[in-house]
Structure 1
Amino acid sequence: MPSTTLPYCPRYVPPPPTQENLDFADLAVIDLAKALTPEGRLELFPQVRDAFRTHGFIYAINHGWTQKQTDRIFDIANVPFTSVSADEAKAYAGDPKKDGYYQGFKTRGSWRLDSENEVFDQIEHYSLNRKVYTRSHPEALRPFLPEIEDFTHHNHYNVVHPILRLLALSLELPEETFVEKHRFDAAGETCARFIKYFKRSQAEEEKSKNVWLKGHADLGSVSVLWSQPIGGLQILSPDGKWRWVRHIDNALVINTGEAMEFLTGGYFKSTIHRVTQPPADQHAYDRLGVFYFSMPDDDVQLVPSAESPVLQRVGIEWCCTDDVAPNMEAWRKGRSAAYGVTPLKQGEKEGVEEEIISGIVVKHYN
């Protein structure tokens, strides 16, 4: 009989939530447990549809993991940044130009945040393909791979797939339309990612206007952030203002990305968000994040679901014609190789910079 004792992992203890009086976004809270039944999905999909159409973000509660399990995954998420030597980290460094997406370690200073002032990021992250044994991992992380594998399965089947069914219902499509484009065992780079945002000097904060990661959209379809109390995440609201995302214990913060915008003909937009310096009462802390970034299978062509009765009524926003639309593999490779290293051009609007990937304009927001 296998042992039920988990390997020892140092505790990660976050600070209390901020007490600052911040301008928080008013996001819908979705009871994901209702998505387990056909009746519940029929009740939920209008709420999810309207929330994603308005803000592009939702909170999800009752997602099937306990607070204890969530605390444990944050303990594990901190291991790559506290228990792996610099030399070993180099051996497991990712190469997005070669691999077509970040896997393994991303080191600090890889991304240029401000060309004029020569400001670079202070972000480290460690990414694992959803099939966690696809690649080897640092020694300190190996005892926890079975738990990380459980984590990726839970995110994929119990969070992302239910959300994809609700999005399909929103377009009056068969429930499995998008699920069939997100198969766990298919070729692709859907991943779990642990991210550590490290504190910066006052001089760096002034140069970057307190922005730690400039406004952007995720390149995939559905992104899952496991809520944690250190603030910093902000979303661009419909009125053009940046608003903070509030922490909710054991909740998920979910948003749509570029691939979903392509697949839905612009009906669900890729949501613009950024990371800034935490609130004043949390300035002393580094910020640890746990994510699951889902993408369609590599061979999925990123074209609108034109068979949708909803899209036939409201119209389709075409980013390009179907014959030149990239598949997911080409899109992720182009976006990953260029991010933070390709010089950007000033867009038509102030504070918006642009680059061209696969013939499609990608915008970045300062």
Structure 2
Amino acid sequence: MPARLIDRYDHVPVTKENLDWAELVTLDLSQYEQPGGKQELVKQLEHAVRHVGFFYVKNFNISQDEIDRQFALGREFYALPLEEKLKYHSVADLDRGEYNGYRPAGHRDLGNGIKDNVQVYNIPKFDGHHQRQQPPILRDHIEEIEAFSRKCHTEVVEKLLRLFAILLELPDEDQLVRDHQYDVKGEDHLRYMHYAARGAEVNKQVAGMYVPGHTDLGTVTLLFRQPVAALQILNSEGDWKWVRPQDGTITINTCDALTALTGGLIKSSIHRVHVPPPDQAHVDRLGVLYFARPNNHIVLHPIQNSPLLNRLGLTKNVFTELGQHLTTEEWVKVRQTQQQRRNREAKISTKGEFSYGSKDLEIIPGLEAKVYN
């Protein structure tokens, strides 16, 4: 039986509000293959990853039509009846750190008795180690989804990994690529993410937050442009700034595993999801993201053969200082287990400060997740 035809995806208009936008560098990946192009891109990248952890890329060889097809597939999935989506949800899986599949809104308490408004559907990378049943609307288009997932990796992630290798002065610019091979077992995944609009009174009770300030746990996160303004970053001056949805770009943020591998040189970006501005506050927000992580067997120690890290004395990280030698697989499991806790004691002050129960933020003994108020 042929796959059902899917209507095109139409993005909503951008906000007309005068927001305090972050000033972020844009890397033009069309320079990548040009003589001296990678070195020039590294110069642009260095300040961003050492001080902010956010930047844009453009000219990345994935068409807007391909991107909009993924938004359309996400839209179709979230339009399914809840009982159909719940067939792909397991509380027991989430409790033990298995995050692929569906997570309904309301799984966690955001604070003050208000539950979260976020639905998530994660599709693991197609490395042969993550066989999962998919809903028919996605299963019927699974080859297209796989092609998109692989392009995220080869056209964006691998190019960035080579730029990071040059920044770190590694003897082989493919060293980090070998630690992030698509067809080797790993926790990379594609995500469709849906934030439901809420009323003003509920938004007030949670200090205008959809998701409080946090860092991601992997190497880099790719956020494909969507026009509902909500993402904010904490800049190096300690101010929250809105991230502008720029045409023809992907927003990239660097994450915890990359920080660990670089001894803290590359900043794990701090970001949060705020209630959209008034002219978009009534609009649901759909996101398409790709999360890249080191392969599961990689031990998250600072890279030993980086002349730059050795010159700067960046030979330790938060794991090694605790005597821990976590592989990516172990790190993802303990961090995801912490992230999926219900946080029933969470409180939010009128100033937007989040507080939690005594064990809510513990990842491993001696290491707690940080929530940035």
TM-score by length of 2: 0.90
Displaced runs of 4 or more, over 6 A: none
Q: Distance in 2 between matches of 1:264 and 1:341?
A: 29
Give the fraction of aligned pairs with identical amino acids, expressed as a percent.
Answer: 35
> Amino acid of the residue matched to residue 241 of structure 2?
R
How many residue pairs align between the two structures? 356
Q: Which moved more, 1:123-132 or 1:353-362?
A: 353-362
Q: Distance in 2 between matches of 1:269 and 1:325?
A: 20
What are the superposed Cα offsets for residues 239-267 of structure 1, whole Å, 9 maximum, x if unpaired?
A: 11110000111210001110000001000
> Amino acid of the residue matched to residue 81 of structure 2?
S
Q: Distance in 1 between matches of 2:198 and 2:70?
A: 26
Determine whether 1:126 maps to 2:133: no
Cα contact 1:129–1:190 (8 A) shared by 2: yes
Q: Which residue of structure 2 aligns with residue 59 of structure 1?
A: 56
> Amino acid of the residue matched to residue 228 of structure 1?
Q
Q: Distance in 2 between matches of 1:70 and 1:123?
A: 21
Determine whether 1:92 maps to 2:88: yes
Q: Distance in 2 between matches of 1:128 and 1:74?
A: 14
Select 1:234's aligned residue among 227, 232, 235: 232
Q: Which moved more, 1:297-306 or 1:84-93?
A: 84-93
Q: Decide whether aligned partners of structure 1 residues 217 and 171 sit closer, same or farther in structure 2, where only a CA change above 3 A counts.
A: same
Q: Distance in 2 between matches of 1:44 and 1:68?
A: 26
Q: Match of 1:214, SS?
A: strand
Q: Which residue of structure 1 aligns with residue 154 of structure 2?
A: 157
Q: Distance in 1 between matches of 2:45 and 2:56?
A: 10
Q: Which moved more, 1:236-245 or 1:336-345?
A: 336-345
Q: Decide whether aligned partners of structure 1 residues 131 and 321 sit closer, same or farther in structure 2, where only a CA change above 3 A counts.
A: same
Cα contact 2:20–2:241 (8 A) shared by 1: yes
Q: Distance in 2 between matches of 1:77 and 1:123?
A: 13
Q: Distance in 2 between matches of 1:135 and 1:284?
A: 34
What are the superposed Cα offsets for residues 167-223 of structure 1, whole Å, 9 maximum, x if unpaired?
A: 111110121121111111111220000000001122220111110011110011110
Q: Distance in 2 between matches of 1:161 and 1:99?
A: 30
Deviation at 1:33, TM superposition (A): 2.1
**1:140-179 alignment to 2 at 5 Å?**
140-173=137-170, 174-179=172-177
Q: Match of 1:235, SS?
A: strand
> Amino acid of the residue matched to residue 329 of structure 1?
E
> Amino acid of the residue matched to residue 182 of structure 1?
H
Q: Decide whether aligned partners of structure 1 residues 225 and 295 sit closer, same or farther in structure 2, where only a CA change above 3 A counts.
A: same
Q: Which moved more, 1:69-78 or 1:228-237?
A: 69-78
Gaps of 5+ in 2: none
What are the superposed Cα offsets for residues 87-110 of structure 1, whole Å, 9 maximum, x if unpaired?
A: 221111155446633111110011
Determine whether 1:355 maps to 2:361: yes
Deviation at 1:134, TM superposition (A): 2.3
Cα contact 2:212–2:371 (8 A) shared by 1: yes
Deviation at 1:77, TM superposition (A): 1.8
**1:183-332 alignment to 2 at 5 Å?**
183-316=181-314, 317-321=316-320, 324-332=324-332
> Amino acid of the residue matched to residue 356 of structure 1?
E
Q: Decide whether aligned partners of structure 1 residues 99 and 362 sit closer, same or farther in structure 2, where only a CA change above 3 A counts.
A: closer
> Amino acid of the residue matched to residue 86 of structure 2?
K
Q: Which moved more, 1:174-183 or 1:157-166?
A: 174-183
Cα contact 1:218–1:270 (8 A) shared by 2: yes
Deviation at 1:13, TM superposition (A): 2.0
Cα contact 1:112–1:341 (8 A) shared by 2: no
Q: Match of 1:229, SS?
A: coil
Q: Match of 1:288, SS?
A: strand
**1:66-81 alignment to 2 at 5 Å?**
66-81=63-78
Gaps of 5+ in 1: none
TM-score by length of 1: 0.91
Q: Decide whether aligned partners of structure 1 residues 137 and 332 sit closer, same or farther in structure 2, where only a CA change above 3 A counts.
A: same
Q: Match of 2:27, SS?
A: strand
Q: Distance in 2 between matches of 1:31 and 1:94?
A: 41
Q: Distance in 1 between matches of 2:49 and 2:3?
A: 38
Cα contact 1:335–1:357 (8 A) shared by 2: yes
> Amino acid of the residue matched to residue 235 of structure 2?
S
Q: Which moved more, 1:261-270 or 1:139-148?
A: 139-148
Deviation at 1:42, TM superposition (A): 1.5
